[in-house]
A and B are shown apart, each in its own frame.
Chain A
Amino acid sequence: MIIAEQKEISEIINMVGDHRKILVIGCDTCVTVCLSGGAKEVAILASALRLAFRVQGKQVEVNETTIERQCEIEFVDSLESMAKDKDLLISMGCGIGVQTIAERFFHLPVVPALNTKFLGLPEKQGVWVERCQACGQCVLDKTGGICPISRCSKSLLNGPCGGSQNGKCEINDEIDCAWHLIYERLKALNRLECLEEIMPVKDWSTSRDGGPRKMIREDMCL
């Protein structure tokens, strides 16, 4: 899922500026699961904003709502009645949610309350880790199900660099060396011979480097 975290409240207040009628919008999908932009976080942020504006002596109306998915127009459409009399929308969705709302409500400003971090999973309570960089050409079959693109600090394709020590990455010992993990897993699977093959130069055109991406399924198009 998409992992995001809330921006500093001071940054969000700055983004509000002189707006007076605000709608804080949560999303029930990824950001609810990663505890950054669900109904609960929306309630907390809306309360914090009301309090901050009261302290500042400003008359600001803060409303709140949470929709199923901010990344689908059908759900974003449902905001129509609540959004129409507002002068600012604050999205607590990921970057995709913010943009879907911006596209749908062309004449209303929308600002992000979250920083979208990465595609990953909760490793344990309160800790999320990255697992995929959406490079568009999956190599997990060759790397024991462990992604070197997203999990090696240098996205190396042919094994660990000289900075791998005690299973940790050279950049800090909080990060596992992806290639150490790959080595251990392929060893356990009795497939170490995979590592003898040179992985060819990667075609990055399927990644962001090929420009903004689009997927078309002719069979699904109406």
Chain B
Amino acid sequence: MKVGSRLETLLTQGEFVATAELGPPKSADLELIKKKAAILRGYADAVNITDNQTAIVRVSSIAAGKISLDEGLEPIIQMTCRDRNRLAMQADILGAHVFGLKNLLCLSGDHQSFGNHPQAKNVYDLDSIQLAQMVKNMRDEKVFQCGDEIKNTKKSEVIEPRMFVGVAANPFADPFEFRVIRLAKKIKAGADFVQTQCIFDLPKFKEWMKMVVDRGLHEKVYLLAGVMPVKSYRVLQYMKKNVAGMSIPDELIDRMKGAEDPKAEGVKICIELIQQVREIEGIRGVHIMAVEWEAIVPSIVQEAGLYPRPQIQ
């Protein structure tokens, strides 16, 4: 094993893993982080801690990750290329290791024009593939991006940060045929696991997975399928219209529209999707993105037959 994080260990054991997401607060609210962590504890093998998601300022992913770790979660720290240059990234990666954090998800990040500081200067010193490569090289080659060894002084021992490297994949963005090439590049860069964009269009996802399997990529990386419970058809309509890189079938919107209890229907759809993606060759787990709805995760995990979560052997 490369890192020995809980996530890596369970994947190595061959378990079908379940990850969830914790969105840090938009204020310095420590109690909210603890409250969200308490909801998810025991129901997810690892939990993504988002990094200024949708370009809105929040408690930093590493700070919220450290709190979550203390509260008994296994955090996956998200890191975007939007807000930091290579110095800040590497400093934060060292910091994450020092805090005992072991999983890192490398992302481009939503453009700042979507968030609450649209006039900000963005960084993009590296892109997400270069970030994944840097994190891997820090771990395996024990060097900084500049090539220097990771040690405090010339005579000090090398103490490198060790991260289980995650990346995202969006099978629904364009150009569709490029999406598998991009995944292959991310694996070449050093990705250990992949979490996909949330799946609503199962046929398109299957088509992408077939290309993934044809290239043998499923054997080189752990693939977790992203799912998202929604509370109403309006959410789906909004995403279809406003969120680039999403594929949302009209039948799904109609089904949510016709539901007597839309929240229950949203959960039901999510559970059905979990069961369907589980059958697809190469899928090693699910990533449940209940955005600002962490409280629903325990029942999704239970009703999808994923509870109790496996133990490390």
Interface residues of A (CB under 8 A from B): 153-171, 177, 179-180, 183-184, 192, 195-196, 198-202, 204
Q: B108–A195 contact, CB under 8 A? A: no
Q: B108–A164 contact, CB under 8 A? A: no
User: Bound complex: CA of A165 vs CA of B175, how far in Å?
Assistant: 7
Contact residues, B218-271 vs A (CB, 8 A): 244-246
Chain B contacts for A160, CB-based, 8 A: 173-175, 178, 182
Of the residues B110, B128, B130, contact of A201 by C-beta under 8 Å: B130
User: Bound complex: CA of A180 vs CA of B244, how far in Å?
Assistant: 14
Kindly list 14 other residue pairs between chains A and B, CB separation below 8 angstroms, not including A159-B178, A165-B173.
A154-B127, A155-B124, A160-B178, A161-B128, A162-B170, A163-B111, A163-B245, A166-B174, A167-B174, A170-B244, A180-B174, A183-B175, A195-B178, A198-B185
Q: Write the nearest CB–CB distance from A10 to chain B, whole angstroms.
A: 22
Q: B175–A164 contact, CB under 8 A? A: yes
Q: B108–A161 contact, CB under 8 A? A: yes
The number of chain B residues touching the other chain, given as a range, is 35 or more
User: Bound complex: CA of A184 vs CA of B86, how far in Å?
Assistant: 31
Q: B108–A154 contact, CB under 8 A? A: yes
Q: B130–A170 contact, CB under 8 A? A: no
Once A154-B111, A170-B111, A201-B145 are accepted as A-B contacts, the answer to whether A162 and B245 lie under 8 Å apart by CB is yes
Chain A contacts for B86, CB-based, 8 A: 201
Interface check B82, CB cutoff 8 A: yes
Q: A171–B113 contact, CB under 8 A? A: yes
Q: A170–B245 contact, CB under 8 A? A: yes
Interface centre among A153, A157, A200, A201 (most CB of B within 10 A): A201
Of the residues A157, A159, A164, contact of B244 by C-beta under 8 Å: A164
Interface check B188, CB cutoff 8 A: yes
Chain B contacts for A202, CB-based, 8 A: 125
Chain B contacts for A164, CB-based, 8 A: 173-175, 244-245
Chain A contacts for B170, CB-based, 8 A: 162
Interface check B104, CB cutoff 8 A: no
User: Bound complex: CA of A192 vs CA of B246, how far in Å?
Assistant: 25
Closest chain A residue to B134 by CB distance?
A201
Chain B contacts for A169, CB-based, 8 A: 244
Interface check B297, CB cutoff 8 A: no
Q: Write the nearest CB–CB distance from A168 to chain B, whole angstroms.
A: 7
Q: Write the nearest CB–CB distance from B78 to chain A, whole angstroms.
A: 14
Interface centre among B81, B108, B127, B128 (most CB of A within 10 A): B127
Q: A159–B185 contact, CB under 8 A? A: yes
Once A162-B245, A201-B134 are accepted as A-B contacts, the answer to whether A153 and B178 lie under 8 Å apart by CB is no
Chain B contacts for A200, CB-based, 8 A: 130
User: Bound complex: CA of A140 vs CA of B188, how far in Å?
Assistant: 23
User: Bound complex: CA of A202 vs CA of B131, how far in Å?
Assistant: 12
Q: Write the nearest CB–CB distance from A198 to chain B, whole angstroms.
A: 6
Closest chain A residue to B168 by CB distance?
A162
Chain A contacts for B110, CB-based, 8 A: 163, 170
Q: Write the nearest CB–CB distance from B202 to chain A, whole angstroms.
A: 18
Instruction: Map CB proximity to A onto B140-158 as digits: 1 under 8 Å, 0 otherwise.
Output: 0000010000000000000
Chain A contacts for B244, CB-based, 8 A: 163-165, 168-170
Chain B contacts for A171, CB-based, 8 A: 111, 113-114
User: Bound complex: CA of A198 vs CA of B190, how far in Å?
Assistant: 11
Instruction: Map CB proximity to A onto B87-130 as digits: 1 under 8 Å, 0 otherwise.
Output: 00000000000000000000011110110000000101111111
Q: Write the nearest CB–CB distance from B54 to chain A, whole angstroms.
A: 11
Chain A contacts for B125, CB-based, 8 A: 201-202, 204
Interface check B133, CB cutoff 8 A: yes
Interface check B184, CB cutoff 8 A: yes
Chain A contacts for B197, CB-based, 8 A: 162
Once A154-B111, A160-B175, A196-B184 are accepted as A-B contacts, the answer to whether A201 and B124 lie under 8 Å apart by CB is no
User: Bound complex: CA of A182 vs CA of B114, how far in Å?
Assistant: 25
User: Bound complex: CA of A195 vs CA of B122, how far in Å?
Assistant: 25
Minimum-distance CB pairs A-B, first 10: A162-B170, A170-B244, A158-B129, A163-B244, A156-B127, A161-B108, A165-B244, A162-B245, A154-B124, A162-B173
Q: A157–B127 contact, CB under 8 A? A: yes
Closest chain B residue to A165 by CB distance?
B244
User: Bound complex: CA of A165 vs CA of B81, how far in Å?
Assistant: 20
Interface check B189, CB cutoff 8 A: yes
Closest chain B residue to A196 by CB distance?
B181
Closest chain A residue to B169 by CB distance?
A162
Once A153-B111, A168-B244, A170-B244 are accepted as A-B contacts, the answer to whether A198 and B122 lie under 8 Å apart by CB is no
Q: Write the nearest CB–CB distance from A43 to chain B, whole angstroms.
A: 35
Q: A162–B108 contact, CB under 8 A? A: yes
User: Bound complex: CA of A64 vs CA of B108, how far in Å?
Assistant: 49
User: Bound complex: CA of A170 vs CA of B174, how far in Å?
Assistant: 11
Q: A158–B185 contact, CB under 8 A? A: yes
Pairs A–B under 8 Å by Cβ, sample size 8: A153-B111, A154-B124, A156-B128, A167-B174, A195-B178, A196-B181, A201-B86, A201-B126
